[in-house]
A and B are shown apart, each in its own frame.
Chain A
Amino acid sequence: MKILIAEDDKFIREGIEEILKSEGYQTIVACDGQEAINLFETQCPDFVLLDIMMPNIDGYEVCRRIRKTDEQIPVIFISAKSEEIDKVIGLELGADDFIVKPFGTREVIARIRAITRRCLARAQNGNEAPKQITLKDLSVFPAELRAQRGDAIIELSLRDINILTLLHKMKGNVVNRDTIFNECWGRDYLPNSRTLDQHISKLRKQIEIDPKAPQIVKTVHGVGYRFDE
């Protein structure tokens, strides 16, 4: 999933980019309004994160122009402007959400996931992708970015879903590290074994009953990971 981030502050832009990438999204970044419009027209992102106060063209105008060509694409405003009128203007222009600075990573993640669920739900209506996959006693709902064990609901990232979907698809077989990187990080990503290990450890902590003795994501030393039914 590709997200366009338009933000003039370099550090905020890079920080958001890092958060989104860790969640499993592809990102394209713009440091002003004009660049955001250009990237939107050329890169066709799945949704857009827009700052309001940007050089050249402000976020409101960018949103207005995006809405002229695409009424469906989700747009989230990120701004230090927290007055009600600012939010109302943004939402009136067709924005789907409004994140006020200073924000926490959890808040951004929660809102991005909410938007992703809507996108996936819409996309799922058009294809025959499974609504639910089962990994032992864990039910995973890819379009909802959730898994369930008993009554416990587990919130998952897009990358987690992709990894679990891939393992489920290749169940009984070893999925090597490169495949996982290519499928879940993107082909442009420079592989770093530590990154994958860290992510798998985090995922295990979320979905495994005992992360130290994993039953769903098993390690195949020196090769990759495997899911056995």
Chain B
Amino acid sequence: MARSLQEIPLSGHAHSRSGHSDALIVILGALAIVIGSSALGIAVNHLSPRGIPLLPTPAAGPIRQEPAPALSLPKGLEPITILDARAAIDKHLALFLDARPADQYAEGHIPGALSLPSDKLDDTFPNLADRIEASPFLIVYCDGAECSESIHVAERLIEYGFLGTRLMVDGYRAWADAGNPVTKGSEP
């Protein structure tokens, strides 16, 4: 037969009024010690370099801060997803334009992409004008969603009348991370 906590004799004076009072003091004292010692243990565990995690933690990544928010696109500039960009290139409908600096282009770029660095746009454009004109669609990219080089280049191309210009917002990093082909060197 089950008994409540109050019914369990805690000492030889269990049946006396003073016995109940003593038991209550012991229980409260024990609870205080448990809470205090638990807090101490958690604190030591937290401060210890070898402490164990008490809550599940996400897998450690190479970059520890939150990614920067994507830039808002200027009016008239249309985005294109990596999937659609890949399809357009596979069907030879578009030309990639890499708006990053030339050294980053050389370190890795999308195969077939022309280097049209944002900071050298005025000097580079005339040399590429014929090839740019020959393509019905242009897909401009830079490093990632938070960079603005591709926006600058794409805006200028639209001003020049290349209305088939699209912006691959997620950029080169996302393209490469998705397992799409990349190549190195200063040539397309």
Answer whether A and B are interacting partners.
Answer: no
Q: Which residues of A contact B (CB under 8 A)?
A: none
| B residues at A contact (CB < 8 Å) | none
